[in-house]
Structure 1
Amino acid sequence: MDRAGSSPPLAFRARSLVPLAGEGPARGAALLAPLARLDDALILTRAGRVEEVRPWKNARLPAGTRVRDMGDVCLMPACANAHTHLQLSWLAGRTRWGHGFAAWLDSLVPQLIAPARDGEEPARRHRAAARACAALAADGTHWMGDVGGSSPGALSRVREACTAAGLEARHFCEWFGFAPPLIDAEGPWPPRCRAEISADRRLENECAPCGHALYSTAPDILRAAREWCAGTGRVFSFHLAESPEETELLATGAGALRACYEGSVLPADWQPPRLRPLAFASALGLLGPGVLAVHGVQLEEEEIGTLAASGAALCLCPRSNRNLAVGVAPVRALLESGVLLCLGTDGLTSNEDLDVRNEAVWLREHLDLPPRALLRLLTVNGAAALGFPRGAGTLAPGAPAVFAVVPEALAS
């Protein structure tokens, strides 16, 4: 992805361009509508904004315009990676994949709670987050949603890394556990995030409290965070129906996830709701417009209809799901249902990289999904699901001059 500078004007030329100009978030049949495409395309930019998009043959460039020929590629608006865990980037390559969700947690959690190796540990973690953000920008991401704030200073570190890489981010401050929440006029913030936001008020408008999951966050906390987000116009996010172990735990109270969390996360008097994840989320009032659920692998047909009718968005993370051996989301049924769908990579603890285009390529190659739908999931849908204004995820006059190369698998 290229990011235009301030002056002089900068023009980009490419074999073709899919600008998505004028488009908003798409659902159901609208995902399959034809996409406008410009051949031998020009993007004229100034001060980091798009001034004009048109065929090169009609170009009348302002004096002093620099021209960058992008070559034999098709360009698209910059991508939205709607679900990441950047603060955990330092754990890349250090977790167990392919043996189920509980086995992955067993490899992850001890590293999260272990004491720092030395006084340089915060700096190493900061550098890992900075490298991850730089990679996101280089791969064509501009809009992103990040879940974090569970370790001291992590929220500020990730925000700093995002700003340095030129990313526009929504930071989801994750509640984990069943301790009584501190809820006051400032909102239901996790304690560590509350401290960081109080120390740096620039964080406040970019953050929202969120829940980890139905089995790992107290119901009162989930409800309070959802209600606060609804009242303040923030997006509320949580992991939903990710693994068979989650479904088993909530429905029966048993299984590998119970064994993993009992005595540490789950309180001694915890009782299962004896509901499947979607039904439990609905009973808690967690669904509806302004909600971004993540994963949805274990959703059944009737549940998909309920999710669509609620107006909630769903972020798919197919490569993470593959790596953790939790299954494949019912993507075709979701596409047809009218759910607002988008894509995320999850984090480097469960994925090879943070290039969200690779999620779309995986869905194209393994489920034969239409490229036009996938391009919308990558751009306008992801930006809308994160709460960015209409026009985010497009290349039209006034939009940020940020774009990505369309992968060959999606270029047809």
Structure 2
Amino acid sequence: MPNALPRPHRPPASLHPPGDAPRAVIARTALTMVPGAAPLDDAAVILAGRRVLDIGPRRLVLRGFCGPTTDLGAQAVLVPGLLNAHSHLELSHLGAHSPSGAGFCAWVAWLMGQNLHALSPAALNAAVAETAGCGVAAVIDIGSRAGPAVAAALGRAGLQGLVCHEFLGWRSLAATGVPPALDAAVGDGLAATVSGHALYSTSPDNLRQGQALCRARGTPFSLHLAEHPGEVELFASGTGEFAALLRGRLLPKGWRAPGRTPTAEALAQGLLGPDTLAVHAVHLSATDVALLANSGATVCLCPRSNARIGVGVADVAALVAAGVPLALGTDSLASNDDLDLWNEVRALLAVHPGLPGSVVLDALTTTPARLLGRAHDLGRLVPGAVGGVAVIPPDLAEALDLGSPGRG
């Protein structure tokens, strides 16, 4: 599957101009994402910044309104501002250099050889602007070096969400927690927390401490899980190319394979629950899918990153059939061509053409909003919501099941 995909149609920049002066946006249809609500035809939304002041049929909403109005045309379909559930914005400077098609181990070896501390403010700002430009309102970002800079860049762009300081390694991090500089950098609409990297790169104690800290802060706990075949082989037998790459680097001396799948190991460590965001989840057995479903964990799909570094395709149909909540993320420019979440949707539908549009829309809005504890003001178009609006690109509007019950 090719990684590079066409750019979507861009809505006018006036959808979210600076300032809080009320303005109206008109569209053919608005999907509020309120359960049970029907699509709104000939719809209008009044916004102040990204805050929704009113939404409904145009004839009612615009009665007496005298502010500026943007008419998006007879084909436009509005949805709530999107949520990108997995990104690594601090790696944005690596976009021009990342390899493609060499396999996961080669990609990891390349990444380990990069200067990951060389944050480029220009690259970071451009990545945040690209994220916002595709209709994203909030981000769950993961990093270990530049959290304060990422939080500041998101804040300047008016984006909300969660900035996670990633626990990596086997040295005790009990006293580390969230760096004070990151806590100080998050402003309105942003929160700070920690995350675990992966079962093979973060000690069980550090993962459990990270999860406990997330629960204390009321934030989700993010973890890369079952991303590639080498990870499965590592936990099953401790052998293989990936195991050889990690020994002497990330794995401590004397580490023993538990003899089970990464998902079963995550469950054994107590890491799966309704507040868990399992990122990638490409290599799952039927039992693994059931474990995720029973735990209530959410899976974040990153199809273009998976394709670029050659780890395979997640069994989305099995996850949907089991009732596993899904979110979508772009991952980083170190493993993707851009940070356009609509391109992620295109890639997802290219390999899962029968995927219900309602599942995709929930993955972009309501599911990550619920995970963030922000279902009241993100992922829905209702008065008081603060995520603004996004426009479904014309080439995707027909592919999504926009008229399904509950997708209003």
Structure 1 position 361 matched with structure 2 position 346: yes
- Asked if structure 1 preserves the Cα contact closer than 8 Å seen for 2:160 and 2:190, the reply is no
| 2:157 maps to which of 165, 179, 184 | 165
Structure-2 residue corresponding to 1:31: none
Deviation digits for residues 335-361 of structure 1, max 9, x if unmatched? 111111111111111111111122222
Structure 1 position 292 matched with structure 2 position 295: no
Structure-1 residue corresponding to 2:393: 407
Single out whichever of 336-345 and 205-214 deviates more from structure 2. 205-214
Structure-2 residue corresponding to 1:269: 254
Distance 1:281 1:68, change over 3 A: same
Structure-2 residue corresponding to 1:378: 364
Structure-1 residue corresponding to 2:384: 398
Structure-1 residue corresponding to 2:265: 280
- Asked if structure 1 preserves the Cα contact closer than 8 Å seen for 2:80 and 2:388, the reply is yes
User: In 1, Cα distance between the equivalents of 2:132 and 2:166?
Assistant: 24
Distance 1:226 1:142, change over 3 A: same
Distance 1:197 1:156, change over 3 A: closer
User: In 1, Cα distance between the equivalents of 2:358 and 2:299?
Assistant: 18
Structure-2 residue corresponding to 1:131: 126
- Asked if structure 1 preserves the Cα contact closer than 8 Å seen for 2:193 and 2:217, the reply is no
- Asked if structure 1 preserves the Cα contact closer than 8 Å seen for 2:86 and 2:328, the reply is yes
| 1:70 maps to which of 72, 75, 82 | 72
- Asked if structure 1 preserves the Cα contact closer than 8 Å seen for 2:49 and 2:388, the reply is no
Residue 173 of structure 1 aligns to which amino acid in structure 2? H
Residue 11 of structure 1 aligns to which amino acid in structure 2? A
| 2:197 maps to which of 212, 226, 231 | 212
Structure-2 residue corresponding to 1:51: 53
User: In the TM superposition, what are the counterparts of 1:104-253 in structure 2 within 5 Å?
Assistant: 104-112=107-115, 121-122=118-119, 125-149=120-144, 151=145, 154-181=146-173, 183-184=174-175, 188-189=176-177, 194=179, 196-197=181-182, 206-253=191-238
Structure-1 residue corresponding to 2:406: none
Number of equivalenced pairs:
383
User: In 2, Cα distance between the equivalents of 1:18 and 1:200?
Assistant: 34
SS of equivalent residue, structure 1 residue 44 = strand
- Asked if structure 2 preserves the Cα contact closer than 8 Å seen for 1:3 and 1:401, the reply is no
Residue 166 of structure 2 aligns to which amino acid in structure 1? E
Structure 1 position 9 matched with structure 2 position 22: yes
Measure how far apart 1:309 and its partner are.
Answer: 0.7
User: In 1, Cα distance between the equivalents of 2:109 and 2:390?
Assistant: 37
Measure how far apart 1:14 and its partner are.
Answer: 1.5
- Asked if structure 2 preserves the Cα contact closer than 8 Å seen for 1:250 and 1:274, the reply is yes
- Asked if structure 1 preserves the Cα contact closer than 8 Å seen for 2:89 and 2:141, the reply is yes
User: In 1, Cα distance between the equivalents of 2:137 and 2:43?
Assistant: 21
Structure-2 residue corresponding to 1:19: 32
Distance 1:397 1:85, change over 3 A: same
| Superposed CA RMSD | 2.3
TM-score by length of 1: 0.87
User: In 1, Cα distance between the equivalents of 2:83 and 2:267?
Assistant: 27
Measure how far apart 1:12 and its partner are.
Answer: 0.6
**Unaligned ranges ≥5, structure 1:** 24-33
Measure how far apart 1:7 and its partner are.
Answer: 5.2
Deviation digits for residues 50-85 of structure 1, max 9, x if unmatched? 122222244544453111112232121111100000
- Asked if structure 2 preserves the Cα contact closer than 8 Å seen for 1:16 and 1:38, the reply is yes
- Asked if structure 1 preserves the Cα contact closer than 8 Å seen for 2:44 and 2:61, the reply is yes
Structure 1 position 38 matched with structure 2 position 40: yes
- Asked if structure 2 preserves the Cα contact closer than 8 Å seen for 1:342 and 1:385, the reply is no
- Asked if structure 1 preserves the Cα contact closer than 8 Å seen for 2:151 and 2:182, the reply is no
SS of equivalent residue, structure 1 residue 146 = strand
Residue 307 of structure 2 aligns to which amino acid in structure 1? R
User: In 2, Cα distance between the equivalents of 1:197 and 1:61?
Assistant: 45
Single out whichever of 244-253 and 260-269 deviates more from structure 2. 260-269
Single out whichever of 370-379 and 330-339 deviates more from structure 2. 370-379
SS of equivalent residue, structure 2 residue 179 = helix
User: In 2, Cα distance between the equivalents of 1:265 and 1:328?
Assistant: 26
Measure how far apart 1:253 and its partner are.
Answer: 0.9
Distance 1:147 1:208, change over 3 A: same
User: In 1, Cα distance between the equivalents of 2:19 and 2:340?
Assistant: 27
Q: Percent identity?
A: 38
Residue 163 of structure 2 aligns to which amino acid in structure 1? H
Deviation digits for residues 227-253 of structure 1, max 9, x if unmatched? 222233221110000000111111111
- Asked if structure 2 preserves the Cα contact closer than 8 Å seen for 1:8 and 1:66, the reply is no
Distance 1:313 1:59, change over 3 A: closer
Runs of 4+ in 1 over 6 A off after TM superposition: none
Structure-2 residue corresponding to 1:81: 84
Bigger fraction of residues in helix: 1
Distance 1:47 1:201, change over 3 A: closer
Distance 1:14 1:202, change over 3 A: closer
- Asked if structure 2 preserves the Cα contact closer than 8 Å seen for 1:19 and 1:396, the reply is yes
User: In 1, Cα distance between the equivalents of 2:256 and 2:62?
Assistant: 69
TM-score by length of 2: 0.88
**Unaligned ranges ≥5, structure 2:** 1-10, 399-408
Measure how far apart 1:199 and its partner are.
Answer: 6.3
